[in-house]
Amino acid sequence: MLATVVGAQTDSVTIQYQFKGQASAYMLFNPDNTLELYGGARYIPEFSLETKFPKKQLLDLEASVNISGTLGMHAFDTTATDGDIRPYRAWLRYTRPQLELRVGLQKINFGSASILRPLMWFDQIDPRDPLQLTDGVWGALGRYYFLNNANIWVWSLYGNKNRRGFDSVPSNKKSLEFGGRFQFPTKKGEAAVTYHYREAAVAELGIFDFENTPEHRIGIDGKWDLEVGLWLEATWIHKTRNIGILTNQNLINIGTDYTFGIGNGLNVIAEQLLISVDEKAFAFKNTSTLTALSVSYPLGLFDDLSAIIYFDWTNEKLYNILQWKHSFSRWTLNVLAFWNPKNSQLPQQQFTENLFGGKGIQILGVYNH
């Protein structure tokens, strides 16, 4: 809907609002689960309001809710149900040329890696999830864009307690988090340096006589378009109090992608991740490595076939998922087949229920309005 307020076109204020939503439902069969048959539905209604002012100034907001319910069954004699309603996004934003300011419940993500992301500091996106869902964080974000395509980010977060990404412990909900990022162009690509401070709530570990410890994070990343796409992403996470091997974490990712001229174009992404947790910084004594391979191929205008494979070299575990996606005008149908270890140790699934542990199939329908 559109409304124009004030007279002259060059000085007018334009108000536009929109209501849309995403509904999804799935059925999953996994004989390795206690409840081998699982069904679920989700609806995310979203309201947005946009006000355009003179001199290319914009004030807009977005509010959405995540409404979900699940039903699990075993041989039709045991059932378990669950449901949840929680805010998904709730933010207000002001923008003008080269400047953006946003406050509220929002998604913040950045970095060069595609699958195994050391800079997954504020989200929990699983690349295998067709919906790409992730909870937001409460805070304020400012971004300034320079004319040479460099940009600077600053943020401050408060009231967030859930673990995210590779967090070893959650955040102290009552403390302020803050940080920033500077991204700049390089020859045939771009690079960035990022910093974040928070208080880690180590009380959850239950083995220390103190509740919190300051934590500093430093990240670097870069991506370049050479004969192939090439990127590097690395993070050092340091806690100022000694909590054993979790005092220091190092994550280093190198990756590449290339689209082969086969048929409609075969895109391949490969990444290698090194993880180290040590009492001393950069000791690299307690390490683990993961390899990820993503392959996607468009079968036509409406159909896509893709696969993602992880190999955990430390635990010698292989994770596989194959997906076929068919797109209609407003609907998408996704069929996923998976063959994974029963107990997942992947970072995207550490803090959520693992329905994809074992072998099975999922059918997911999505409707956008």
- Domain range spanning residue 297? 98-321+338-351
345 lies in some domain: yes
pLDDT in the model for residue 348: 54
Tokens of 287: 């390490």
Residue 8 has what pLDDT?
Answer: 40
Query: What is the arithmetic mean of pLDDT over 340-368?
Result: 79
Distance set, CA 358 to CA 205, 244, 307 (Å): 29, 33, 17
Q: Is residue 326 part of a domain?
A: no
Residue corresponding to tokens 């977005």 = 62
In the chain, the number of structural domains is 1
In this prediction, residue 209 carries a pLDDT of 77
Q: What is the mean pLDDT of residues 205-217?
A: 89
Strand partners, 250: 236, 276
pLDDT at 92 over 50: yes
Higher pLDDT: 30 or 6? It is: 30
| Average of per-residue pLDDT across 339-346 | 84
Flag whether 288 is in a domain: yes
User: Quick one: how far is CA 176 from the chain centroid?
Assistant: 22
- Is 40 a member of any domain? no
Closest CA to 155 of 133, 178, 182, 137: 178
Gap between the Cα atoms of 332 and 367, Å rounded: 7
- Find out whether 119 and 221 touch, Cβ atoms under 8 Å: yes
Per-residue pLDDT of 128-171, as tens digits, reads: 999 999 999 999 999 999 999 999 999 999 999 988 889 989 99
Q: How confident is the model at residue 9, as a pLDDT?
A: 44
Q: Which of 115, 167, 157 is closest to 136 using CA atoms?
A: 157
Rounded distance between C-alpha atoms, residue 91 and residue 106, angstroms: 6
In a domain, 54, yes or no: no
Confidence bin at 350 (pLDDT 50/70/90): very low
pLDDT score recorded for residue 287: 96
Nearest CA to 127 out of 163, 90, 165 is that of: 165
User: How large is the average pLDDT for residues 56-79?
Assistant: 92
Domain presence at residue 282: yes
Beta carbons within 10 angstroms of residue 221's beta carbon: 24
Contacts of 193 (CB under 8 A, 6+ apart): 181, 182, 218, 219, 220
Average pLDDT, the chain: 92
Task: Report pLDDT digits (tens) over 316-331.
Answer: 999 999 999 999 989 9
User: Is 137 a domain residue?
Assistant: yes
Is 362 domain-assigned?
no
pLDDT at 189: 97
The C-alpha R_g of the chain, in whole angstroms, comes to 22
Please name the residue ranges forming H helices in the chain: none
Query: What is the Cα–Cα distance from 298 to 267, expressed in whole angstroms?
Result: 9
User: pLDDT-derived band of residue 353, with 50, 70 and 90 as boundaries?
Assistant: low
pLDDT band at 174 (very low <50, low <70, confident <90, very high): very high
